[in-house]
A = this chain, B = another copy of it.
Amino acid sequence: MLQPPGADSAGEFGRIDRYLKPLAAGFPGALGLTDDAAVFGIPPDRELVITTDALVAGVHFLPDDPPADIAAKLLRVNLSDLAAMAAEPLAYSLVTSLPTDIGDGWLAAFAAGLAEDQKRYGIHLMGGDSVSTPGPVTLSVTAFGLVPRGQALRRGTAGAGDLVFVSGTIGDAVLGLRVLQGKLNAADPDPLIERYRRPQPRLSLVPTLRRFATAGLDVSDGLVADLAHLCEVSGYAATINADRVPLSTATRAAVTADPTLLATALTGGDDYEIVFTVKPEDREALLASGADVTEIGRLSPDGATGTVTVLDGTGAAMPLTARGWTHF
């Protein structure tokens, strides 16, 4: 493609070659990144699951965040979407829009972060594009996963009376962000910051989801908002108990010190846990499976479609919206 005279696309190709080509070595369909496209087949009993998430410096991460953390976040938010669809990771493509003055050190650390997560999650680079920009670092990943035909987990397939479960713990990431922003003085800040910087895609939950889940999605916008998405597409309302929402030790300590942080935890987002629904008759088998999941509520055909009611310890509805406390 035509570049302005200053763009030095020959030099750019050289840097991309050096740092990104090695990441494609493990996926034959990448064709070594020598061609215009990647080429691969999939087994006839499988479907492809394809998801894309983009991150912009100053919007989704801080410009001086460590490049390896940015790489981890970029890959993992996409892997979380694959997990939420009950898919296994296959490969990913990467688009980098980088300022021309970005240093080799940044690129090397970014590529090293990708390489580490490729190994951790068994995924490989298979293509993409690298362009220069006069704006902020802009990154996007399209992740490809495989799922047995007909077994992709959807949002709109929950049933009336299904129980609501969530994996792991909720609220750590948003409190970690508050700490980084200087807005929260937490007693135990490190695990919170780590959860914000390094989401943990729940790929280990995929067999459990395939066996038990009737619908689900990952918690990126916030537990209440994402459960509301599920309810809206499935055509139900949900009620959850705030006391049953699993909190980490660090988040529980923060909420004990400042109870208003409970609403922050339930609505903050960036958790990358999976919220999903299960038929009541499968409850015991799911709990006996040993999966790290917690029952937090139930769907109902009553109530306005797409609404989530959060009950406090006394059984009263908390004045909570998808964005936090309601202030009258």
CB distance from A51 to the nearest CB of B (A): 4
Which residue of the partner chain B has the closest CB to A3?
A: B59
Stretch at the interface among A82-90, A184-192, A283-291, A303-311: A82-90
Asked if A260 is at the interface (CB within 8 A of a chain B CB), the reply is no
> How many copies are assembled?
2
A51 in contact with B37 given A138-B135, A140-B129, A174-B2 (CB within 8 Å): yes
Which residue of the partner chain B has the closest CB to A13?
A: B221
Contact of A41 among B4, B36, B149, B217 (CB under 8 A): B149
Say yes or no: A2 contacts B147, CB within 8 Å: no
Say yes or no: B54 contacts A131, CB within 8 Å: yes
Stretch at the interface among A42-50, A160-168, A205-213: A42-50
CB distance from A274 to the nearest CB of B (A): 10
Contact of A270 among B2, B34, B51 (CB under 8 A): B2
Contact of A268 among B2, B38, B174 (CB under 8 A): B2
A97 in contact with B152 given A35-B217, A47-B40 (CB within 8 Å): no
CB distance from A253 to the nearest CB of B (A): 22
Q: Report A112-137 residues with CB < 8 Å from chain B CB.
A: 126-129, 131-136
Contact of A127 among B50, B54, B221, B270 (CB under 8 A): B50
Asked if A53 is at the interface (CB within 8 A of a chain B CB), the reply is yes
Which residue of the partner chain B has the closest CB to A143?
A: B37
Contact of A134 among B93, B135, B218, B268 (CB under 8 A): B135
Q: How large is the interface on A (under 10, 10 to 19, 20 to 34, 35 or more residues)?
A: 35 or more
A129 in contact with B93 given A39-B47, A42-B42, A59-B7 (CB within 8 Å): no
Q: Within the assembled complex, what's the spacing in Å between the Cα atoms of A84 and B85?
A: 33
Q: Within the assembled complex, what's the spacing in Å between the Cα atoms of A87 and B246?
A: 49
For A220, list chain B residues within 8 Å (CB): 1
Which residue of the partner chain B has the closest CB to A135?
A: B135
Asked if A263 is at the interface (CB within 8 A of a chain B CB), the reply is no
Asked if A95 is at the interface (CB within 8 A of a chain B CB), the reply is yes
CB distance from A87 to the nearest CB of B (A): 7
Q: Report A1-34 residues with CB < 8 Å from chain B CB.
A: 1-4, 7, 31, 34
Say yes or no: A2 contacts B269, CB within 8 Å: yes
Which residue of the partner chain B has the closest CB to A7?
A: B59
Q: Which of A53, A140, A218, A233 has its CB near the most chain B CB atoms (within 10 A)?
A: A140
Per-residue B-contact encoding for A249-270, CB less than 8 Å = 1, 0 else: 0000000000000000000111
Asked if A244 is at the interface (CB within 8 A of a chain B CB), the reply is no
Asked if A154 is at the interface (CB within 8 A of a chain B CB), the reply is yes
A37 in contact with B59 given A93-B142, A95-B95 (CB within 8 Å): no
Q: Which of A40, A41, A87 has its CB near the most chain B CB atoms (within 10 A)?
A: A41
Say yes or no: B52 contacts A97, CB within 8 Å: no
A2 in contact with B177 given A34-B156, A134-B136 (CB within 8 Å): yes
Q: Which of A47, A268, A270 has its CB near the most chain B CB atoms (within 10 A)?
A: A47
A interface, CB within 8 angstroms of B: 1-4, 7, 31, 34-42, 44, 46-56, 58-60, 77, 81-82, 84-85, 87, 93, 95, 97, 126-129, 131-136, 138, 140, 142, 145, 147, 149, 152, 154-156, 173-174, 177, 217-218, 220-221, 233, 268-270
